Amino acid sequence: MKTLFKNSQLADSKELLNIEVTDKHITKISKDVTGSYDRIINVGGNLLIPAFYNAHCHAAMTCLRGYAENLPLDRWLNEKIFPAEDKLTDELVYCSTMLAIAEMIACGVVSFSDMYMFENTVAQAVVESKIKANLSRSVVSFDVNENMRESNRIKESIQLVKDYHNYDDGRIKVDLSLHAEYTNTKASCRCVAELAKEYGLGIQIHASETKKEHEECIARHGMTPIEFFKSTGVLDVPVCAAHCVYVTDNDMSIMRDQKTYAAHNPVSNLKLASGVMALPKMLANGVFVALGTDGVASNNKLSVLREMQLASILHKGVSLDPCATDAETLFHIATRGGALAQGRADCGQIAVGSKADLLIIDMDSVNNIPSYDSYATLAYSVNESDIKLTMADGEILYENGEYKTIDIEKVKDEAKKIIAKTYF
């Protein structure tokens, strides 16, 4: 399949360009149009940008949208979320994940990092919808004497690796996962770290999401969560650490040196009153950063665009410094940063040889006129409804409000029916 995006305005270009896509990759960027194509899409001077990557998500939690409100994280988890998760089934996870994927595609997300249960069912939804994903089965262990290699959670993780890692030319990747320091033992952390090294995998974790979590870890182990994960070997492999709200200067040095990614989740952290990650300081200290939505239960939306736009202004306000963040940096964090956090070095940018993960943004919307700076428009003005096309790995998933790989009415109907009969 050969597609040409004609008359495309790139965010960093002052002239219209033509972008050629052959199968899954960008194969040419030029001013001239030559050759024959299966389809020519006239972008008409609108923005053509790299798509968004959701670096931290629990997709199946879509069934809990609005279910647990106005609670701090520990009560939110123990009083509402953990009991609700006991009622999850394969059917409910599948329907909820398909609903989440549909929302993300319409919001310009082409790949998401998922940390949850029933991941084989999540994988089924990813395969069918043709979105991309980094899937991980979350590991929890409180028993210091547990034989982790015989744990069902570990066995499910390894089976997921065998069934789906690098499926469809890497469209699906499998990571290992530790839910958090406070839900694991040193032994479980060491086991996951060893397995990640054996299989050549990355790891997804939660780290220093709340002050309480951070301080209790210091009381338990005499070290911060980041220091704890380093001591157990977890950070010896590629890691994406969600939240990182309460990290120390030493934590940042460790993350920089270990090339550990921080997944910034500003909406979830604000909604649960967990705090605000020190993004400007992290960037100044050389920490790699991506953006995540977290689950719908703590966010209510799955829009990386909203995360980028909130982050673009949030850190200016809390620091009283209008230069604390800039639009171009936040855009690259939402795109290239997310791709790299997922181990997708050939994604997240418009360049010859990169995977064709692309969005068309309608610049003729009233909220986008005029546009003196494309990055500023993206960071402060664009709405999700301005996304006119979403392409992942060279395949159009969404165009002008129409889903190409999902029967959206069936997805909505089945999700509503199964959620209604679950009785959370």
- Domain ranges, ordered by start, for the chain: 2-50+349-408, 52-341
Q: Answer yes or no: is pLDDT of 101 > 80.
A: yes
Residues 169-228 pLDDT 10s: 999 999 999 999 999 999 999 999 999 999 999 999 999 999 999 999 999 999 999 999
Do residues 179 and 138 touch, judged by C-beta distance below 8 A?
Answer: yes
331 has pLDDT over 90: yes
Mean pLDDT, to the nearest integer, of 372-393? 98
Q: How far apart are CA 170 and CA 167, in angstroms?
A: 5
In the predicted structure, residue 139 carries a pLDDT above the cut 80:
yes
**Confidence at residue 175, expressed as pLDDT on a 0 to 100 scale:** 98
Measured between alpha carbons, how far is 391 from 262 in angstroms, rounded to an integer?
A: 26
Reported as a single tens digit per residue, the pLDDT across 259-305 is 999 999 999 999 999 999 999 999 999 999 999 999 999 999 999 99
pLDDT at 423: 76
According to the model, what pLDDT value does residue 34 have? 82
**CB–CB of 226/251 below 8 Å?**
yes
CATH superfamily name and code, 2-50+349-408: Urease, subunit C, domain 1 (2.30.40.10)
Domain 52-341 has CATH 3.20.20.140: yes
Six-digit token pair at 81?
Answer: 């979320």
User: Of 65, 47, 164, 52, whose CA–CA distance to 104 is shortest?
Assistant: 52
Chain centre distance of CA 289 = 11
Preceding amide of 50 cis, omega within 30: no
- The pLDDT, as a whole number, for residue 177 is 98
pTM: 0.97
Confidence (pLDDT) at 58: 98
Structural tokens at position 127: 């395969």
For the segment 327-337, the average pLDDT, to the nearest whole number, is 98
Read off φ and ψ for residue 137, nearest 5 degrees: -90, 115
Closest by alpha carbon to 12, among 391, 380, 331?
331
Provide the percentage of residues in the chain whose pLDDT is more than 70. Answer: 100
How does DSSP assign 36-80, residue by residue?
Answer: --SEEEE-TT-EEEEPEEEEEE-GGGGGGTTTS-S--HHHIIIII
Give me the residues paired with residue 347 across strands: none
CA distances 279 to 13, 26, 266, 287, 343, Å, are 27, 32, 10, 9, 21
pLDDT above 90: residue 14: no
How many CB atoms neighbour CB 301 within 10 A?
Answer: 16
Strands (E), 156-312: 172-174, 176-178, 203-207, 239-243, 261-264, 288-291
Amino acid at 423: Y
- Write down the pLDDT at residue 324: 97
Q: Token pair of 36, please?
A: 């024959």
- The alpha carbon dihedral of 347, 41, 98, 170 has a sign of negative
> For the residues 18-45, what does the mean pLDDT come to?
95
Rounded alpha-carbon distances, angstroms, from residue 214 to 47, 217, 226, 306: 42, 5, 9, 27
